[in-house]
Amino acid sequence: MKLFYSKTSPYSRKVYILAKSLGMGGEIELIYDNPLEDSAALLAANPLAKVPALVMGDKTIFDSPLIADHFLRLAGQGGRDDAYFETLNVQALADGMMAAAVALRMESVRPEAQQSAMWQKRWYAAIDRGLGVLETTIIKDLKGWKLDSIAVACMLDYLCFRLPEIDWKAARPETAIWFEGALARMDMKNTDPRL
C-alpha cells in the first residue's frame, strides 16, 4: 500500500500511526508529497489533491477517517457497535479541530489584507470549545493507543506546532497530563512534524 503523506499533515500522521499501532507499518510505503504542489501523482490518486490518500493497486482511498476504517477492517477491528461509534465521534471532534487549525495556519500565510478576522475568530472559538469538551467529557475515558487517542494526540500536537499562541495547557490540566503521556510514545516522536 502506498500512502501519500506529508509530515506536517496531522491527518496523515494519524493514519500512519494507526497503521503502525495495528502492526501494518511494514506494509506501507510512504510517498512524501506537499499537496500544495499539485504533483501529477497525487492528482492522479486523489482528485481533491489532499493528503493522506491510500493507494492500493488501481484503487485509492481518502479521506483520513475512511483510511483509518480500512486499516481497522484489515486488522479485524472496527465494526458497528456503540464503542466504535464513540471512537468515530471522538475522531470527528479531533478532525474538526484539525480542520480549524489547518485553516488558521493557511490563513496566516496569506497576505494580511486577504485574511478574514471573522473566520479566524470562528476557528479559534471552535478549537477552544473542542478543548473544553475534551477536558470535561472525553479525556478521562481516553485509554490505550487506539484511533481515538491517536487522533486527539495528533490534533493537540498540531496545535502546539502551528498555533503556539493558543495557551491551552494551564486551563485544561487533565488534557495536558494526558498529552504528555501520548507525546512520550515512540510513534509520536518518530513522526514529529518539526523534524
Q: Beta strand pairing status for 2-5 and 53-56? A: antiparallel
Which residues, in sequence order, are bridge partners of residue 3?
Answer: 30, 54
Contact 16, 30 (CB under 8 A): yes
Q: How many residues bind ligand GSH (CB under 6 A)?
A: 15
- Binding track over 60-79 against ligand GSH, x by CB under 6 A: --xxxx--------------
Q: Does 95 bind ligand GSH (CB under 6 A)?
A: yes
Residues numbered 97 to 126 that lie near ligand GSH (CB under 6 A) are 102
Binding string, 124-163, against ligand GSH, x = CB under 6 A?
----------------------------------------
**Phi, psi torsion values for 48, nearest 5 degrees:** -80, -5
Of positions 7, 24, 25, 50, contacts ligand GSH by CB under 6 A: 50
Pinpoint the alpha helices (H) of the chain: 10-21, 40-45, 64-74, 82-108, 117-133, 147-162, 173-183, 186-190
**Residues in contact with ligand GSH by the rule CB under 6 A:** 6, 9, 11, 35-36, 49-52, 62-65, 95, 102
